[in-house]
Amino acid sequence: MFLCVLTPLLSSVFSAGQLPYMGGLCDQRGQAAVTAQDDHHGDRSSFLDAFQKVADMATGTRGATKEIGSALTRMCMRHRSIESKLKLFTTALSESLITPLELKMEEWKKVASQLDKDHAKEYKKARADIKKKSSDTIKLQKKVKKGKSLIPSTEH
Protein backbone atom coordinates (compact mmCIF):
# COMPACT_ATOMS: atom_id res chain seq x y z
CA MET A 1 0.00 0.00 0.00
CA PHE A 2 2.71 2.45 1.02
CA LEU A 3 4.78 1.51 -2.03
CA CYS A 4 1.78 2.23 -4.30
CA VAL A 5 1.48 5.72 -2.84
CA LEU A 6 5.20 6.44 -2.82
CA THR A 7 5.93 5.18 -6.36
CA PRO A 8 4.27 8.12 -8.21
CA LEU A 9 6.10 10.59 -5.98
CA LEU A 10 9.46 8.99 -6.60
CA SER A 11 8.87 8.59 -10.33
CA SER A 12 7.86 12.25 -10.69
CA VAL A 13 10.87 13.40 -8.64
CA PHE A 14 13.32 11.25 -10.58
CA SER A 15 11.81 12.06 -13.98
CA ALA A 16 11.80 15.81 -13.34
CA GLY A 17 15.57 15.87 -12.84
CA GLN A 18 15.28 16.45 -9.13
CA LEU A 19 17.67 13.67 -8.19
CA PRO A 20 20.05 15.98 -6.26
CA TYR A 21 17.31 16.62 -3.69
CA MET A 22 16.84 12.90 -3.13
CA GLY A 23 20.61 12.48 -2.93
CA GLY A 24 20.74 15.26 -0.34
CA LEU A 25 18.00 13.54 1.61
CA CYS A 26 19.83 10.22 1.64
CA ASP A 27 23.21 11.80 2.38
CA GLN A 28 21.83 13.76 5.33
CA ARG A 29 20.07 10.69 6.69
CA GLY A 30 23.27 8.67 6.44
CA GLN A 31 25.33 11.39 8.07
CA ALA A 32 22.83 11.76 10.91
CA ALA A 33 23.14 8.07 11.71
CA VAL A 34 26.93 8.20 11.87
CA THR A 35 27.70 11.46 13.67
CA ALA A 36 27.97 11.94 17.43
CA GLN A 37 25.09 13.03 19.69
CA ASP A 38 26.31 16.64 19.88
CA ASP A 39 26.14 17.00 16.12
CA HIS A 40 22.64 15.56 15.83
CA HIS A 41 20.87 18.90 16.02
CA GLY A 42 22.55 20.20 12.89
CA ASP A 43 22.11 16.90 11.09
CA ARG A 44 18.41 16.71 11.91
CA SER A 45 17.98 20.25 10.70
CA SER A 46 19.84 19.50 7.45
CA PHE A 47 17.84 16.33 6.99
CA LEU A 48 14.57 18.21 7.51
CA ASP A 49 15.72 20.90 5.05
CA ALA A 50 16.41 18.27 2.39
CA PHE A 51 13.14 16.52 3.21
CA GLN A 52 11.28 19.84 2.92
CA LYS A 53 12.79 20.39 -0.54
CA VAL A 54 11.48 17.01 -1.65
CA ALA A 55 8.07 17.83 -0.14
CA ASP A 56 8.03 21.21 -1.92
CA MET A 57 8.85 19.56 -5.24
CA ALA A 58 6.08 17.03 -4.68
CA THR A 59 3.63 19.79 -3.76
CA GLY A 60 4.46 21.60 -7.00
CA THR A 61 3.41 18.63 -9.17
CA ARG A 62 -0.03 17.61 -10.39
CA GLY A 63 -2.32 14.89 -9.09
CA ALA A 64 -2.09 12.82 -5.92
CA THR A 65 1.58 13.66 -5.56
CA LYS A 66 0.54 17.19 -4.59
CA GLU A 67 -1.41 15.84 -1.61
CA ILE A 68 1.53 13.67 -0.60
CA GLY A 69 3.78 16.72 -0.82
CA SER A 70 1.50 18.73 1.44
CA ALA A 71 1.36 15.83 3.92
CA LEU A 72 5.15 15.64 3.91
CA THR A 73 5.30 19.41 4.49
CA ARG A 74 3.01 19.09 7.51
CA MET A 75 5.17 16.27 8.82
CA CYS A 76 8.28 18.44 8.43
CA MET A 77 6.61 21.25 10.32
CA ARG A 78 5.68 18.90 13.16
CA HIS A 79 9.21 17.56 13.34
CA ARG A 80 10.63 21.08 13.42
CA SER A 81 8.27 21.92 16.28
CA ILE A 82 9.38 18.82 18.19
CA GLU A 83 13.00 19.65 17.45
CA SER A 84 12.66 23.18 18.83
CA LYS A 85 10.95 21.91 21.98
CA LEU A 86 13.66 19.29 22.43
CA LYS A 87 16.32 21.97 22.00
CA LEU A 88 14.65 24.15 24.65
CA PHE A 89 14.40 21.20 27.01
CA THR A 90 18.04 20.17 26.60
CA THR A 91 19.21 23.78 26.99
CA ALA A 92 17.18 24.20 30.17
CA LEU A 93 18.45 20.88 31.50
CA SER A 94 22.02 21.80 30.73
CA GLU A 95 21.86 25.31 32.19
CA SER A 96 19.82 24.45 35.27
CA LEU A 97 21.20 21.07 36.25
CA ILE A 98 24.36 19.93 34.52
CA THR A 99 26.39 23.15 34.60
CA PRO A 100 25.73 23.88 38.31
CA LEU A 101 26.62 20.29 39.19
CA GLU A 102 29.86 20.49 37.24
CA LEU A 103 30.76 23.74 38.99
CA LYS A 104 30.21 22.21 42.45
CA MET A 105 31.93 18.92 41.64
CA GLU A 106 35.45 20.11 42.53
CA GLU A 107 34.26 21.55 45.84
CA TRP A 108 32.44 18.30 46.66
CA LYS A 109 35.56 16.28 45.84
CA LYS A 110 37.64 18.42 48.21
CA VAL A 111 35.04 18.13 50.99
CA ALA A 112 34.80 14.36 50.53
CA SER A 113 38.58 14.03 50.61
CA GLN A 114 38.80 16.07 53.81
CA LEU A 115 36.02 14.00 55.41
CA ASP A 116 37.91 10.81 54.51
CA LYS A 117 41.10 12.15 56.09
CA ASP A 118 39.29 13.24 59.25
CA HIS A 119 37.55 9.87 59.50
CA ALA A 120 40.86 8.00 59.12
CA LYS A 121 42.42 10.07 61.93
CA GLU A 122 39.47 9.57 64.25
CA TYR A 123 39.36 5.84 63.45
CA LYS A 124 43.05 5.37 64.27
CA LYS A 125 42.66 7.32 67.51
CA ALA A 126 39.56 5.37 68.57
CA ARG A 127 41.25 2.07 67.73
CA ALA A 128 44.33 3.02 69.77
CA ASP A 129 42.10 4.02 72.71
CA ILE A 130 40.24 0.72 72.54
CA LYS A 131 43.52 -1.25 72.48
CA LYS A 132 44.87 0.71 75.45
CA LYS A 133 41.69 0.25 77.48
CA SER A 134 41.59 -3.44 76.57
CA SER A 135 45.18 -3.98 77.72
CA ASP A 136 44.50 -1.98 80.90
CA THR A 137 41.45 -4.15 81.56
CA ILE A 138 43.48 -7.34 81.10
CA LYS A 139 46.17 -6.05 83.48
CA LEU A 140 43.56 -5.19 86.12
CA GLN A 141 41.96 -8.62 85.73
CA LYS A 142 45.36 -10.25 86.28
CA LYS A 143 45.93 -8.13 89.40
CA VAL A 144 42.53 -9.12 90.75
CA LYS A 145 43.34 -12.80 90.19
CA LYS A 146 46.73 -12.43 91.91
CA GLY A 147 45.17 -10.56 94.78
CA LYS A 148 42.64 -13.33 95.34
CA SER A 149 45.30 -16.01 95.36
CA LEU A 150 47.46 -14.08 97.87
CA ILE A 151 44.63 -13.58 100.33
CA PRO A 152 44.42 -16.58 102.67
CA SER A 153 41.11 -18.22 102.65
CA THR A 154 39.20 -18.02 105.93
CA GLU A 155 37.09 -21.05 105.29
CA HIS A 156 37.77 -24.19 107.33
For residues 56 and 74, the answer to whether their CB atoms sit within 8 Å is no
111 part of a folded domain: yes
156 part of a folded domain: no
How many structural domains compose the chain? 1
Residue 9 and residue 71: Cα distance in Å, rounded?
Answer: 12
Q: Which residues, other chains included, contact 41 with Cβ-Cβ below 8 Å and sequence gap of 6+?
A: 83, 87
114 part of a folded domain: yes
**Other residues' Cβ atoms within 10 Å of the Cβ of residue 81:** 10
Q: Which residue has the higher pLDDT, 43 or 91?
A: 91
pTM: 0.45
- The residue segments making up the domain with residue 65 are 2-150
Q: What is the pLDDT of residue 103?
A: 87
Per-chain mean pLDDT for the chain: 76
Q: Which residue has the higher pLDDT, 65 or 131?
A: 131
pLDDT surpasses 80 at 143 = yes
24 part of a folded domain: yes
57 part of a folded domain: yes
